């Protein structure tokens, strides 16, 4: 690419991008909290990961499928933190996920072939 000069203004562009990103995340959480409050669900149970996933799915559906039947508020009202009360160990424990256990090979076991096996081998 001769003759083309790229100008990179890192400091200002990064700050602008971060501001817009933070504004988008804050807006998503604000809409999520409003939706949960309107649905009568506990606001403290709002899952940030689920909220971002709902917005990601919404953008995908609008951009690819262009359907007008999808409701952002209905999807956000299902974005609660997963109930993990059945968990018996911490996710940070050493056995999560279960480590693969390899068996040691050991000494080979060589046995004498039977008469029938020797006959079948002779055919090859």
pLDDT at 114: 92
CA–CA separation, 6 and 34 (whole Å): 44
pLDDT at 13: 80
pLDDT at 95: 60
- The sign one gets for the Cα dihedral 81, 82, 85, 91 is negative
Q: Which residues contact 4 (CB under 8 A, 6 or more apart)?
A: none
Residue 41, Cβ neighbours under 10 Å: how many?
Answer: 15
pLDDT at 79: 72
Give me the tens of pLDDT residue by residue for the chain, a chain 124 residues long. Answer: 455 555 555 677 888 888 898 999 999 999 999 999 998 989 888 888 888 899 888 888 777 666 556 677 777 777 777 666 676 666 666 666 666 777 777 787 888 989 999 998 888 7
pLDDT at 60: 83
Q: Which of 61, 2, 73 is nearest to 34 (CA)?
A: 73
Report whether 58 contacts 72 (CB < 8 A). Answer: yes
pLDDT at 11: 72
């Amino acid at each position: 690419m001769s003759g083309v000069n790229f100008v990179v203004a890192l400091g200002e562009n990064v700050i602008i991008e971060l501001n817009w990103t933070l504004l988008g995340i804050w807006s998503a959480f604000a809409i999520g909290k409003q939706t949960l409050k309107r649905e009568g669900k506990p606001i403290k149970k709002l899952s940030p990961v689920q909220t971002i996933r709902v917005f990601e799915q919404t953008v995908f559906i609008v951009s690819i499928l262009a359907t007008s039947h999808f409701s952002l508020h209905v999807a956000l009202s299902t974005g609660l933190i997963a109930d993990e009360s059945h968990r018996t160990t911490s996710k940070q424990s050493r056995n999560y996920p279960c480590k693969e256990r390899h068996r040691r090979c050991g000494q080979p076991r060589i046995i004498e072939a039977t008469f029938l096996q020797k006959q079948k081998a002779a055919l090859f």
